[in-house]
Amino acid sequence: MDGRARRVAITGYGVVAPCGIGKQAYWHGLLGPGVTDRRTVTIEDWDPLPWFESPKHARRADRVEQFAVAAAAEAFEHAGRPDVDPQRFGTIFATGIGGLQTLEDNVEIRLDKGERRVSPFLIPMLMANASGAAISMRYGLQGPNETIATACAASTHAMGYAARLIVWGRCDAVVTGGSEACITLTGVAGFTNMTALSSSGVSMPFDTRRDGFVMGEGAAVFMFEEWEAAVRRGATILGEVLGAGSTADAHHITAPSPDGAGAIACMNQALADAGLTVADIKQINAHGTSTSLNDAAEAKAVAQVFGDAPPPMTSTKGVTGHALGAAGALEAAAVLLSIEHSLIPPTANTSSVLTESKIDLVTHEPRPWQPGPVLSNNFGFGGHNGSIIIAPGPSA
User: Catalytic: which of 152, 171, 182, 266?
Assistant: 152
Q: Is 152 a catalytic residue?
A: yes
Which of 312-321 are b and which e, b meaning 16 or more Cβ less than 10 Å from the residue's Cβ? bbbbbbbbbb
Backbone angles phi, psi at 206, to 5 degrees: 65, 15
Interatomic CA distance for residues 35 and 234, integer angstroms: 40
Q: How far apart are CA 119 and CA 286, in angstroms?
A: 40
User: Which is the catalytic residue, given 78, 157, 322, 384?
Assistant: 322
Task: State the number of CA atoms in the 13 A half-sphere of 315 facing the CB.
Answer: 33
What's the CA gap between 129 and 119, in Å, rounded? Answer: 18
Nearest alpha carbon to residue 242 among 280, 286, 285: 280
Strand, coil or helix: 223? strand
Could you tell me whether strands 145-148 and 218-226 are parallel, antiparallel, or unpaired per DSSP bridges?
A: unpaired
Question: Is 322 tagged catalytic?
Answer: yes
Residue at 330: amino acid letter: L
Distance between CA 337 and CA 157 in Å, rounded? 20
Question: What does DSSP assign to residue 203?
Answer: -
Find the DSSP H helices in the chain. 23-30, 55-59, 63-79, 100-113, 122-126, 130-139, 154-167, 185-193, 227-232, 261-274, 292-306, 317-320, 327-341
Distance between start and end Cα atoms, the chain: 21
Q: Tell me how far apart the alpha carbons of residues 185 and 362 are, in angstroms, rounded to a whole number.
A: 34
Q: Which of 129, 176, 138, 178 is nearest to 57 (CA)?
A: 138
What DSSP character marks residue 353? B
Q: Of the listed 157, 171, 182, 287, which one is catalytic?
A: 287
Which amino acid would we find at residue 368? P
Helix (H, G, I), strand (E, B) or coil at 89: strand
d(CA 330, CA 241): 16
Active site residues: 152, 287, 322
